[in-house]
């Protein structure tokens, strides 16, 4: 095999697929990128058996062939090469790959492609979604997914396929993020699916600039594809916790509208003196302002006030500052809405003017009012 590339094209392709390659040593070939040149096309592929990706690469084929080589080593080498000189990649005897660029020559030991897992293709009927819409619902929710292994059913995004919309949900035991997307339901047999968190992050990276993405459900897998890439993920098996629907109140006792940047920055500053084990802060809302405070015997205390644009009702709540700022950071409007019904009820946070994105955070018990 003999190929040549421009650095930017080659590096972009490698960075797209490298994140999927497994760093575990159980199967060395899973740390490799499959490079295949045939029928006039160049394709890179990586997989860790749970997530897999194929990506078309712009380059010139002098001789077709297939090889696998360390994804990390190849990416590291290409990243350091000069950008104004073509990069040539040639296979030699004993599955070695020789990379040349100008006066530089780099030889990597590869492996045969025979043991590289077969990745499914995106042939067949599916549904399509605008790429920006797909990445948007991921961006608005994935931060809230649980990373605790024993709660594996929450280690991903749940796509709840309703008749009139799709609900995209992420949650752990402390907070929840929900975004509405277009209808993706194709049959009564499938009411929803859970995409693992690693795949979710790769989807957002791979299809960030895609105009249209095809989604194809297989038996226990899901495929996302555009003209250049196909991403496969093994679905999380099991029933998602549908109790999330009961967290959405029908009404609230009070609401406040406030600048996102103002409350985000103030919360971050006050949180610097919160207990590093709990990140507990107090949020006091009244018709004039929001007071954010914390008191930690070992560290000290802090408080700030943020003016509200409008507000009704009064409440004082204990909240996890780390999770609260995560929610604030993922609101995409200049102002946000806080809705509440008491110190022990979930606090709802929404972008102003957007009813298709909402987040909920559980309150924490406060020992006493701060000084």
Convert the pLDDT of each residue in 58-111 to its tens digit: 999 999 999 999 999 999 999 999 989 999 999 999 999 999 999 999 999 999
CA 308 remoteness from chain centre: 31
| Residue range 17-61, pLDDT digits in tens | 999 997 776 789 999 999 999 999 999 999 999 999 999 999 999
Residue 368: pLDDT band by 50, 70, 90 thresholds? low
For residue 369, is pLDDT > 60? Answer: no
Confidence of residue 161 (pLDDT cuts 50, 70, 90): very high
Q: Domain 127-245 carries which CATH code?
A: 3.10.150.10
Q: What's the CATH superfamily of 250-361?
A: DNA Polymerase III, subunit A, domain 2 (3.10.150.10)
Dmax of the chain from CA atoms? 76
Mean pLDDT, to the nearest integer, of 247-263? 93
CATH number of 2-115: 3.10.150.10
E strand spans, 243-279: 254-259
**Which tokens hold the place of 106?**
């780099």
* 192 — pLDDT class (breaks 50, 70, 90): very high
Q: Which residues on adjacent β-strands are paired with residue 193?
A: 159
pLDDT for 371: 43
pLDDT computed for residue 25 by the predictor: 60
| Token pair 């649980």 in the structure block, residue | 146
pTM of structure? 0.90
Residue (of 302, 251, 260) closest to 280 by Cα position: 302
Is 241 or 167 the better-scoring residue by pLDDT?
A: 167
Please report, for the chain, the start and end positions of each structural domain, with discontinuous segments joined by +: 2-115, 127-245, 250-361
Q: What mean pLDDT is reported for the chain?
A: 93
CB 361 within 8 A of CB 349: yes
Say if residue 179 is exposed, middle or buried (CB neighbours under 10 Å; 0-12, 13-18, 19+).
buried
Q: Could you report how far apart the first and last alpha carbons of the chain are, in Å?
A: 73
Instruction: Say what angle helices 71-80 and 7-18 make with each other, to 10 degrees.
Output: 150
State the burial class of residue 93 (Cβ atoms within 10 Å of its Cβ: 0-12, 13-18, 19+): exposed
| Domains 2-115 and 250-361 alike in fold | yes
Q: What is the pLDDT of residue 150?
A: 81
Mean pLDDT for 208-229 is: 93
Each residue of 327-341: pLDDT tens digit?
Answer: 999 999 999 999 999
Mean pLDDT computed over 342-349? 94
Asked if residues 116 and 157 have their Cβ atoms less than 8 Å apart, the reply is: no
């Amino acid at each position: 095999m003999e190929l040549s590339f421009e650095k930017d094209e080659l590096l972009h392709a490698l960075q797209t697929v490298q994140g999927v390659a497994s760093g575990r040593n159980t199967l060395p070939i899973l740390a490799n990128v499959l490079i295949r040149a045939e029928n006039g096309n160049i394709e890179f592929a990586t997989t860790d058996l749970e997530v897999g990706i194929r990506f078309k690469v712009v380059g010139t084929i002098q001789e077709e062939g297939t090889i696998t080589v360390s994804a990390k080593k190849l990416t590291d080498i290409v990243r350091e090469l000069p950008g104004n000189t073509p990069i040539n990649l040639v296979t030699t005897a004993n599955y070695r790959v020789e990379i040349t660029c100008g006066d530089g020559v780099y030889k990597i030991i590869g492996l045969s492609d025979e043991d590289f897992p077969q990745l499914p293709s995106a042939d067949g009927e599916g549904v399509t979604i605008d790429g920006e819409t797909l990445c948007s619902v991921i961006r608005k929710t994935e931060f809230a997914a649980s990373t605790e292994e024993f709660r594996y059913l929450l280690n991903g995004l749940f796509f709840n396929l309703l008749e009139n919309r799709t609900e995209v949900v992420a949650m752990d035991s402390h907070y929840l993020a929900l975004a509405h997307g277009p209808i993706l339901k194709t049959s009564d047999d499938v009411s929803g699916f859970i995409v693992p968190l690693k795949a979710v992050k790769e989807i957002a990276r791979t299809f960030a600039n895609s105009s249209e993405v095809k989604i194809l459900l297989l038996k226990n897998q899901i495929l996302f594809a555009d003209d250049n890439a196909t991403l496969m993920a093994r679905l999380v098996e099991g029933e998602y916790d549908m109790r999330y629907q009961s967290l959405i109140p029908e009404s609230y006792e009070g609401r406040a509208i406030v600048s996102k940047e103002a409350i985000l920055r103030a919360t971050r500053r006050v949180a610097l003196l919160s207990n590093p084990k709990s990140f507990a802060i107090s949020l006091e809302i009244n018709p004039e302002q929001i007071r954010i405070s914390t008191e930690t015997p070992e560290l000290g205390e802090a408080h700030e006030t943020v003016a509200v644009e409008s507000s009704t009702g009064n409440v004082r709540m204990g909240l996890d500052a780390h999770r609260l700022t995560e929610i604030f950071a993922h609101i995409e409007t200049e102002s946000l809405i806080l809705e509440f019904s008491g110190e022990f009820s979930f606090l709802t946070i929404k972008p102003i003017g957007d009813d298709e994105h909402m987040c909920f955070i559980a309150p924490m018990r406060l020992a006493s009012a701060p000084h």
